[in-house]
């Protein structure tokens, strides 16, 4: 999801399965392939790749590689975006890398001259009969263009095949060229959104991937939007009879846990997926417990704003906002969903606006919110635009069927 106008890129997997603050379902322990250190060479560069050791705690003597990995991650994102919107601390990310029965994460670090310069991640969902794996390759700009990424993709494909997976999916940011530069465009097959044929796009195409979807990354200036948000909340309240708003910080209150877990599972079936392979996720109370623990153990604040159906008492729509590395850090919006059968009552507008206003009380020093939406998800994008979100970047979703 990352790239730069000059064409340098760090290709990586979706925020849904990778490790930004809002990421979910992650694990460690890369095996069965490439389970030991290997010195590899391209035509111009010798580099070392070794499995990432995930420590029990950051005080563990073996935590150095993990801490270095997080530092390089943040540096790569800063190179790409020229800001720290998605910066994270080792303490925030460590719980997301611990063992998790819902998803197996295979992780490696890449070194040049004994310095960590990148990382590789392969997420393997544990859903029954799943055939998909999500991959991440991220390298600092100074070591890009040397053929390292191509060799690392071979590692990804080899590991995926050994895990019995036949489909690889990955996401990359494709920034717009300068205003005075005219380039051809690659259209999404959905008919919504295009990207320039930049370096990440050429990498994917060269290695047999197809563009399946374009997402929009949007940013909200909280200070400028609050008056608008209040007016939109009042409008939504006038159209949502039969529903009420409930809000809480994690953990989810007992009366709503079962229906919230069901709503989380519907993220995998109700959100636009274009031609991507999406497993239907099964969320029970144990999985919800594990999900919450990762954020609570990381010391993060997560606000859930839910629409409750008065007739049943069930959660039928929800929005999640998550704190960043510091009180002043950019807030990440995680999942937002209105169940299909409850659409048409302005519930998306209701929960987004109520969440933003409550968040301002919880995290008054955070001035920005970032979020991602499929370009074909016009109902949600229309809400975002009315609130004041503006486009910041466009994301290509790519797929490869392994031979």
Check whether residue 260 and residue 193 sit in a common domain: no
**Calpha distance 119→149 (Å, rounded):** 10
Say yes or no: 174 and 61 in one domain: yes
Tell me, yes or no, whether 308 and 161 share the same domain. Answer: no
Q: What is the pLDDT of residues 184-239, one digit of tens each?
A: 899 999 999 999 998 889 999 999 999 999 999 999 999 999 999 999 999 999 99
Strand partners, 49: 38, 110
The three-class DSSP label of residue 175 is: coil
DSSP type of residue 371 = E
Shared domain for 116 and 254, answered yes or no, is no
Find out whether 362 and 324 touch, Cβ atoms under 8 Å: no
Q: pLDDT (tens digit, 9 = 90+) per residue, 307-316? A: 999 999 999 9
Per-residue pLDDT of the chain in tens (403 residues, 90 and over written 9): 233 222 333 444 333 345 644 332 222 223 334 444 666 666 567 899 999 999 999 999 999 999 999 999 999 999 888 889 999 999 999 999 999 999 999 999 999 999 999 999 999 999 999 999 999 999 999 999 999 999 999 999 999 999 999 999 999 988 788 788 888 899 999 999 999 998 889 999 999 999 999 999 999 999 999 999 999 999 999 999 999 999 999 999 999 999 999 999 999 999 899 999 999 999 999 999 999 999 999 999 999 999 999 999 999 999 999 999 899 999 999 999 999 999 999 999 999 999 999 999 999 999 999 999 999 999 999 999 999 999 998 999 999 999 8
- pTM score, two decimals? 0.88
Per-position b or e across 244-256, b if 16+ CB within 10 A of its CB: ebbbeebbbeeeb
Token reading at 298: 């990381």
Structure tokens at 22: 């809002």
Q: Are residues 204 and 236 in the same domain?
A: no
Q: Write down the pLDDT at residue 27.
A: 24
- Same domain for 343 and 226, yes or no, is yes
Q: Report residue 70: phi and psi, to 5°.
A: -65, -40
H helix intervals, 192-256? 199-206, 222-237
Same-domain pairing of 287 and 138: no
Residue 181 — left, alpha, or beta (φ > 0 → left; ψ -120 to 50 → alpha)? beta
Q: Give the 3-state secondary structure of residue 256.
A: helix
Q: Which residues contact 261 (CB under 8 A, 6 or more apart)?
A: 283, 284, 285, 287, 288
Look at residue 200 in the predicted model and tell me its pLDDT. Answer: 87
- Is-contact 196 177, C-beta < 8 A? yes
Q: Are residues 232 and 360 located together in one domain of the fold? A: yes
User: Mapping DSSP to helix (H, G, I), strand (E, B) and coil, where does residue 317 land?
Assistant: strand
And the tokens for 307?
Answer: 């629409």
Instruction: Please check whether residue 65 is in contact with residue 73, taking contact to mean a CB–CB distance below 8 angstroms.
Output: no
Tens of pLDDT, residue by residue over 144-185, are: 999 999 999 999 999 999 999 999 999 998 878 878 888 889
**The pLDDT value given to residue 182:** 84
Per-residue pLDDT at 109: 98
Task: Identify whether residues 187 and 336 lie together within a single domain.
Answer: no
Domain that holds residue 144: 2-217+397-401
d(CA 348, CA 307): 9
Domain count, the chain: 2
Cβ atoms within 10 A of the Cβ of 290, count?
15
CA separation for the pair 236, 259 (Å, rounded): 22
Calculate the CA dihedral of residues 187, 189, 192, 197 and round it to 10 degrees: -20
Cis peptide before 32, with omega less than 30 degrees from 0?
yes
CATH number at residue 245: 3.40.630.30
Considering the domain architecture, whether residues 165 and 141 belong to the same structural domain is answered as yes
Three-state secondary structure readout of 239-304:
CCCCEEEEEEECCCCHHHHHHHHHHHHHHHHHCCCCCCCCCCCCCCHHHHHHHHHHHHHCCCCEEE
Residue (of 72, 54, 55) closest to 12 by Cα position = 72
Residues 179 and 286 in one domain: no
Say whether both 50 and 182 belong to one domain. yes
Helices 285-297 + 257-270 axis angle, to 10: 90
Which tokens hold the place of 151? 């060799």
Cis peptide before 236 (omega within 30 of 0): no
What 3-state class would DSSP assign to 305? strand
Token pair for 224: 């400028």
């Amino acid at each position: 999801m990352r790239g730069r106008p000059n064409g340098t890129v760090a290709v990586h997997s979706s925020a849904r399965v990778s490790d930004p603050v809002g990421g979910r379902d992650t694990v460690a322990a890369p095996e069965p392939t490439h389970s030991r250190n290997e010195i590899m060479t391209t035509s111009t560069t010798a580099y070392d790749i070794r499995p990432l050791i995930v420590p029990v705690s950051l005080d563990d003597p073996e935590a150095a590689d993990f801490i270095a990995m997080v530092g390089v991650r943040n540096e790569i994102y800063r190179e790409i975006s020229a800001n720290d919107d998605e910066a994270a601390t080792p303490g925030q990310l460590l719980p997301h890398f611990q063992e998790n029965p819902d998803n197996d994460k295979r992780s490696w670090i890449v070194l040049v001259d004994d310095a960590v310069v990148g990382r590789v991640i392969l997420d393997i969902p544990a859903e029954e009969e799943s055939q998909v794996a999500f991959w991440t390759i991220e390298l600092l700009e100074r070591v890009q263009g040397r053929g390292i990424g191509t060799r690392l993709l071979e590692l990804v494909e080899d590991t995926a095949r050994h895990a019995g997976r036949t489909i690889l999916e990955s996401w990359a940011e494709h920034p717009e060229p300068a205003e005075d530069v005219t380039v051809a465009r690659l259209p999404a097959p959905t008919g919504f959104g295009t990207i320039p044929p930049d370096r990440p796009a050429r990498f994917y195409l060269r290695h047999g991937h197809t563009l399946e979807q374009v997402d929009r990354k949007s940013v909200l200036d909280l200070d400028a939007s609050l008056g608008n948000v209040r007016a939109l909340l009042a409008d939504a309240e006038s159209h949502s009879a039969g529903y009420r708003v409930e809000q809480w910080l994690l953990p989810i209150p007992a009366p709503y846990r079962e229906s919230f877990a069901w709503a989380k599972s519907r993220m995998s079936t109700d959100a636009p997926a274009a031609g991507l392979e999406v497993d239907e996720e099964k969320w029970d109370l144990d999985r919800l417990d594990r999900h919450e623990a990762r954020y609570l153990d990381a010391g993060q604040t997560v606000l859930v704003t839910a629409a409750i159906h008065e007739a049943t008492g069930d959660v039928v729509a929800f929005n999640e906002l998550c704190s960043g590395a510091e009180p002043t850090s950019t807030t990440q919006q995680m999942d937002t969903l209105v169940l299909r059968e409850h659409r048409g009552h302005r519930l998306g507008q209701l929960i987004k606006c109520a969440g933003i206003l409550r968040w301002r009380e919880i995290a008054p020093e955070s001035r920005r919110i970032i979020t991602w939406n499929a370009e074909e998800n016009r109902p949600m994008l229309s809400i975002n635009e009315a609130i004041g979100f503006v486009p910041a970047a466009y994301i290509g979703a790519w797929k490869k069927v392994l031979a």
